[in-house]
Structure 1
Amino acid sequence: MNTPPLRRSELATPASNDHMFAKAAASDADLVFLDLEDAVAPALREQSRGKAIQALNEYDWGTTVRAVRINGIDTKWAHGDIIEVVEGARENLDTIIVPKVTAARDVWWVDVLLNQLEERLGLLKRIRLEVLIEDVSGVAHAEEIATASTRLDAVIFGAGDLSVSQGARVDTNFRPREPYPGDFWYFARMQVLTAARIAGIAAIDAPYPDFRDPAGYEEDARSAASLGFNGKWAIHPSQIEIANQVFRASDDEIRRARRVLEAYRAAEAEGLGATSVDGQLVDAAHVKLAENVLAHHAAVTDSGRESLQQ
């Protein structure tokens, strides 16, 4: 399995609100996206492209991935969003986030347009993609979407629009209004996660709108992390640190992973296929889990964000 890119936290920033750009660029988010879609009033979407370009070109983003969320490809803005932002930002744009993807053809459309732009502009760096699965059709076609392009770095679970598409009765944090036994979004989350793992890319969990409820955000994040998600959206800078802490290996996990590998290698040297650590079985599956923990730890270290783990 490929190691997905580091995407513990993805901060949403409205492209129309230029007073937020400096704080976003200086944040500890693994990715910041300037939003041209739902966070911007329709009348301001075209003029907000220029603000996004200016932010990408003029601010120091450090190691943060620089992204823009375009409008859905079924809208009148999508074509212009891609062309204008790519032409204006060029190598200062790392990733485009495509919303409301329902089938592989949606990804293909953006991929082909980017191929043409990169060739015409002579861009040396390939622009990456992330896609939002936030419609019942997208959930049903998650695997074909996740494997539609080699540009893809992540699929993102979007509970908000999926609630509308599904006809779900949920509150403003997309939680069920009536008692429900377990994770209300378990099936959709697992569809997105499974598709991401098949494609070898990251799976990102949905936003949590109430940024004044850090405990609720952390509960959501821990549930997603337990399933295997790589990160979560943040709609406010206060949520970034929570996501970065939840979607990382703890010091205890790192130490145990190293012990598991040491014990297994020692057993292998003696011709054994399994051993034990602290009275618990350790076999090949446990080794793979330990290797995943250490690979993620290495990704955090290599990104220059190791200080977040102290």
Structure 2
Amino acid sequence: MSIKRHYEREFVRTFFTSPTAVEGEDDSAKMLRSAAQLTGMQAPDVWVPDNEDATAPSMRDEGVENIVEVVSEYGADFPGEIHPRIVWHRDDPATRYQGFQHMLEIADPANGAIEHIDGFVVPEVGDIDDWKKADEFITIVENEHGLEEGSLSMSVIVESGAAELALGDLRTEMGKPANNLERLFLLVDGEVDYTKDMRAMTPTGELPEWPELRHNTSRGASAAGLVAVDGPYDDIRDVDGYNERMTENQAKGMIGIWSLTPGQVVEANKSPLPPKTGSWLLEVDDREIELEAADGKQIYNGDKVRLETTDSGYVLHTGGETTELDEDDLRKKLLDMTAYVPSMDDIVDSMEEFEAAKEAGKGAIAMTQSTTLVIDGVEIDIEKDRMWDEATYQAAQTPITLFQDVYEHRPDQHEELAEMYGADIVERATNVGN
């Protein structure tokens, strides 16, 4: 089944929410106004004026007025997409009706905001029939205001077991004449309400990790041609934890993540991009430690791995084990313990080399990575060969395709990208693979 997309972004790195109305402030829209003026790496790919959880129920009508006012004023210059979150609940018709009324107000062309709004985010959805209700309401909004049918996208937050099960229905339901579910854009995890819906508990009261939910959401997005986004990471000071979570997600195909602050937006905008410089990793106690690069060598400075020379070879101490090895066996052991993280330059070089080989009629070529490891002052040269064929090339292309998507849709980040990589690498990266 071919699904027609109603949106341009193939990748979304950042999903940034802002309360639409703040109580006790002279300007209740101050946080909306601040977010609307973000640019560069501080500006998200998707900005979500949040008229649900982030805004008190008593302030939500005012929140709608603020969305209209702020988006009308700043929306034309905002560099990302704008998707307000309205109220909704699978078990409450009154809440669904309120969300419908809010969408009608926001989408009214007479108010001047809708020309800058790309779609709506619908929280607390249930089974697939509930998704269809939200879709039908958006269809009615479009028809009520003379908008092109399907022009407003719909993103949902997966916050219940029913919504998680609905992910498996999307392939068969999207594209049916009875609905406009092709308008779907983002599938966003909401682990807090999901935990409540699942009646889950942990001894500390912390949220479970829910790797299964993240996997299922990513799989559902892949199967239906949509974009998967992880939920919020509440410890906004834990930058390392936030980056670890993103690295785990990216290995599942979930590139995007919820951002709660402009600082998190910066981290999440940069995280999936290829690194500026390559790095070597050494596996130590089931963890990968980045080695220190100096004078073309990779140096391990920890005390968990030790290496010494003997008259007959080497003695390697690691993981509580002591092993005597000759030079060949040591080299094989260290090869098993090391990994290389390629830089943007490395990826582009390899892709260009493979493209040239393919033009010359070769189906596969060997790519070599080599370095000198230094452990306890002992130097060992290692070399890794990796065969590149068409499948390897396609897999390596994903981070470059993401970069190209960012470069196309976020011209406000061009200067920062050129500073990060250099203008020459940026130019080559935008052209390779095309």
Provide the TM-score with structure 1 as the length reference: 0.88
Q: For the residues of structure 2 that align with 1:48 and 1:236, how far apart are their CA atoms?
A: 19
Shift of 1:38: 1.1
Q: Does 1:301 align with 2:407?
A: yes
Unaligned runs of 5+ in 1: 177-183
Residue pair 2:9, 2:405 contacting (<8 A) in 1 also: no
Residue pair 1:263, 1:277 contacting (<8 A) in 2 also: no
Give the secondary-structure state (helix, strand or coil) at the position aligned to 1:232. strand
2:338 is aligned to none
**Could you list the per-position Cα deviations for residues 55-76 of structure 1 after superposition, in whole angstroms to 9, with x for gaps in the alignment?**
2112244222111101114442
Residue pair 2:14, 2:45 contacting (<8 A) in 1 also: yes
Q: For the residues of structure 2 that align with 1:107 and 1:137, how far apart are their CA atoms?
A: 11
Shift of 1:9: 1.0
Match of 2:101 among 80, 90, 96: 80
Q: 1:234 to 1:21 in 2, by over 3 A?
A: same
Q: Does 1:116 align with 2:144?
A: no
Shift of 1:187: 1.1
Superposed counterparts of 1:93-132, under 5 Å: 93-124=117-148, 126-132=151-157
Shift of 1:145: 4.4
Letter in 1 for 2:344: I
Shift of 1:132: 0.7
Match of 2:397 among 276, 281, 291: 291
Match of 2:53 among 38, 41, 46: 38
Q: 1:234 to 1:112 in 2, by over 3 A?
A: same
Match of 2:36 among 6, 22, 25: 25
Q: 1:289 to 1:247 in 2, by over 3 A?
A: same
Give the secondary-structure state (helix, strand or coil) at the position aligned to 1:210. coil
Q: For the residues of structure 1 that align with 2:205 and 2:395, how far apart are their CA atoms?
A: 32
Q: 1:92 to 1:4 in 2, by over 3 A?
A: closer
**Greater strand percent: which structure?**
2
Shift of 1:5: 3.0
Residue pair 2:191, 2:207 contacting (<8 A) in 1 also: no
Superposed counterparts of 1:153-232, under 5 Å: 153-170=185-202, 175-176=207-208, 184-232=209-257
Q: For the residues of structure 1 that align with 2:49 and 2:202, how far apart are their CA atoms?
A: 27
Deviates more, 1:187-196 or 1:268-277: 268-277
| Higher-RCO chain (CA-CA 8 Å, sequence separation at least 6) | 1
Letter in 1 for 2:31: M
Unaligned runs of 5+ in 2: 23-28, 175-180, 277-341, 369-384, 421-434
Letter in 2 for 1:86: A
Q: Does 1:268 align with 2:293?
A: no
Q: Does 1:277 align with 2:288?
A: no
The structure with the largest alpha-carbon Rg is: 2
Residue pair 1:107, 1:145 contacting (<8 A) in 2 also: no
Paired residues, number? 303
Letter in 2 for 1:57: S
Q: For the residues of structure 2 that align with 1:4 and 1:173, how far apart are their CA atoms?
A: 37
Q: For the residues of structure 1 that align with 2:266 and 2:401, how far apart are their CA atoms?
A: 21
Q: For the residues of structure 1 that align with 2:205 and 2:57, how far apart are their CA atoms?
A: 24
Residue pair 1:263, 1:276 contacting (<8 A) in 2 also: no
**Could you list the per-position Cα deviations for residues 34-53 of structure 1 after superposition, in whole angstroms to 9, with x for gaps in the alignment?**
11111122222223211111
Letter in 2 for 1:26: Q
Shift of 1:288: 1.1
Shift of 1:238: 1.9
Give the secondary-structure state (helix, strand or coil) at the position aligned to 2:344. helix
Q: 1:145 to 1:39 in 2, by over 3 A?
A: farther
**Could you list the per-position Cα deviations for residues 163-199 of structure 1 after superposition, in whole angstroms to 9, with x for gaps in the alignment?**
11122225999544xxxxxxx3221111000011112
Residue pair 1:172, 1:209 contacting (<8 A) in 2 also: no
Shift of 1:93: 1.5
Letter in 1 for 2:352: E
Give the secondary-structure state (helix, strand or coil) at the position aligned to 2:182. coil
Letter in 2 for 1:283: D
Identity %: 23
**Greater helix percent: which structure?**
1
1:62 is aligned to 78
Letter in 2 for 1:264: F
Deviates more, 1:60-69 or 1:196-205: 60-69
Q: For the residues of structure 1 that align with 2:46 and 2:241, how far apart are their CA atoms?
A: 22
